[in-house]
Amino acid sequence: GAVVSQHPSWVICKSGTSVKIECRSLDFQATTMFWYRQFPKQSLMLMATSNEGSKATYEQGVEKDKFLINHASLTLSTLTVTSAHPEDSSFYICSARDFGGQYNEQFFGPGTRLTVL
């Protein structure tokens, strides 16, 4: 099956700093990637849809100036958490849709655990 990687797998940073998370589709091209956030014992909440070559589409309530998304190529999307605060601590997961697949399913990365001190 298609593979999606994320880097880093975990990061600890000080409050006020910015953190960049990378999401790569390793064996297929993804014109669309998705960024989710998951708090403990809760489900995945979609933050934004990342479109290659165009601006990301953010879900209601997600600050686009705080969560910067760049989808510079067909295999790479990045999420930058700017001026991170402790309340931004969460599990961030990206996914990519393989439109060439039989089921139009999304393939998820392993996630990035962000802890803001």
Partner 1 sequence: SQKIEQNSEALNIQEGKTATLTCNYTNYSPAYLQWYRQDPGRGPVFLLLIRENEKEKRKERLKVTFDTTLKQSLFHITASQPADSATYLCALPTSSASKIIFGSGTRLSIRP
Residues in contact with partner 1, counted by CB under 8 A, come to a total of 22
User: Is residue 50 near partner 1 by the rule CB under 8 A?
Assistant: no
Contact 63, 37 (CB under 8 A): no
User: Is residue 46 near partner 1 by the rule CB under 8 A?
Assistant: yes
| Footprint on residues 54-73 left by partner 1 (CB under 8 A) | none
Query: Which of 30, 34, 75, 116 is the binder for partner 1 (CB under 8 A)?
Result: 34
Helix (H, G, I), strand (E, B) or coil at 86: helix
Contact 3, 18 (CB under 8 A): no
Helix (H, G, I), strand (E, B) or coil at 87: helix
Query: Which of 15, 18, 42, 83 is the binder for partner 1 (CB under 8 A)?
Result: 42
Query: Which of 19, 50, 78, 109 is the binder for partner 1 (CB under 8 A)?
Result: 109
User: Residue 63's closest CA among 84, 44, 40, 41?
Assistant: 84
Contact 112, 11 (CB under 8 A): yes
Query: Which of 79, 84, 93, 116 is the binder for partner 1 (CB under 8 A)?
Result: 93
Binding interface with partner 1 (CB under 8 A): 1, 4, 6, 34, 42-44, 46, 49, 91, 93, 95, 103-111, 113
